[in-house]
Chains A and B, each alone.
Chain A
Amino acid sequence: MSTTKKFASVAVGLGLVTLPVLTACGSTDSGGSADSKTVTLVSHDSWAVSKSVLKDFEKQSGYTVKVLKDGDAGQAVNKAILTKDNPQGDVFFGVDNTLLSRALDNGLFQSYEARGADQILPEYRVDQDKHRVTPIDSGDICVNYDKAYFSEHKLTPPQSFDDLIKPEYKNLLVTENASTSSPGLGFLLGTAAKYGDGGWQDYWKKLKANGVKVVDGWEQAYNDEFSGSAGGKKAKADRPLVVSYASSPPAEVIYADPKPTTAPTGVVNGTCFRQVEYAGLLSNAKNTKGGKALLDFLVTKEFQQDMPLNMFVYPVVKGAVVPAEFTKFGPQAKDPETMAPAKIADNRDQWVKSWTSLVLK
């Protein structure tokens, strides 16, 4: 045997050692749901469900649920669109009203009207002629305030968008970059809904003059800058107002040990923008039957009532009961701003661009 051959055989040998490892792992766990007993849900990082509730579905339907979390909401939607010809799963959950048009225009979903869809509250329904998506939950993006700060400074917390530009609240608000953060975008859309296409820029000029601080993401705004959060207290944060969610105050109670009797933070009611999240059957789903069963399950009362304490969102079906600790610390906003997905789709990029040059430069 020549030396060259020996070397080649060593290299090939090493290749042979590694390849079976790769293929073995590949074949046992390959994507999609080739077998009809498994149904795969693709979602974003915030997806969560009680184990027992998921077990119930698996027992009743005979399917095993596999979950793939694909980064934050925007990322997950983009990845789903990129892979739509050969999707990673059967059902996608987690496209919200700010991104819905992008998903629909790209043909991400196929039609299916979930069994039980008639129980969904009318205000959440969209795409009624084609039924490509099913509303699953709603949540409000609102300014949160640090109760301790306002009582210490004997200051009334603000009540509305209008209040935020008043001098007594100068340098108190921190928000997120509307181009990289979904609460940041929600807050911008809230102001656009409130003040109209012509008025929101003027509002932001005043907000900027009143010392609004913009950071890149929710984590920095909430954990590092907001004085009312657990992280903020440790970081000696000095902004008592933050753009977050209506459900953040109950989270501050539920994820505390020992649990306080009242939430350390509150919600500024007149600053809310409603986000609705949808799920749909992916266009090239391999297990459409399983996917349909999973969609049906997502609108059952059992799942809907399980959502608040897992994903910190509100149910969208009639008569779903929300746990007391959730409603007590984070009641749903009374009169949130909303916007039709089509209008968002038409304006989002332009608004974010103008907002960026107005606020960040």
Chain B
Amino acid sequence: MNKLEEVFKNKKAFIPFVVADDPNFDETVANVLTLADNGADIIELGIPFSDPVADGPIIQKADLRAFSAGVNTDVVFDIVEKIRESTQVPIIFLTYTNIVYKYGYENFCRKCSELNISGLVIPDLPLEEQDELREISDSYDISLIQLIAPTSGKRVAKIASQAKGFIYMVSSIGVTGKREDFSNELGSTIEEIRKVTNVPIAIGFGIHSVQQAKDLSQIADGIIIGSAVVEVINKGENLAKYSQLISSAI
């Protein structure tokens, strides 16, 4: 079984998102370790991009803080290397195509493999453009995570059939950021996915409260929380407690 899929075997997964190097190297390492020690099952680490079209203002600002700290792709790999001195918690990267393309698909995947990175989430790389990268990531046993949106319509089955690791179900249209309402189509889209694959499904985009995490975990196998975690870190709130609350609610 795929190493990410194993995480979902006996429980619902909590997948928090942290922007690498926000606000700096040491705090990113400390925050990831705190999350790993307090119920996070998979850590999604963002490699900042100058123009993150799928992200809302909270993550955009976190990217800017990381740029101020001097982030680049190699710094992010160094951060993971440091994290790996203390934990083997599954880590996936979220970034944009150009970052991976410029590093070189082969070089990037080799480096990920060396650091035991389990998957890649690339919001601007839809199914139709994945062939070249997927061939390489597959050879390193790195899952290219498929995103499915409430607007995917007829594309759902086609995308789901290519899924490995888990499926990133986008909760609602728009960009990342806190939301109160989620797509009405969510339940039926998930049902449709389950007809074609056993790959676990995690819901992300807009989830911030414990109640939302609890409710949405009823229909999914995992919950991804991005902007809200970034905000807890930025405001200096208790990350361990937040992580425990979400983890025990799902």
Specify whether A and B are partners: no
B residues adjacent to A (C-beta < 8 A):
none
- A residues neighboring B (CB under 8 Å): none
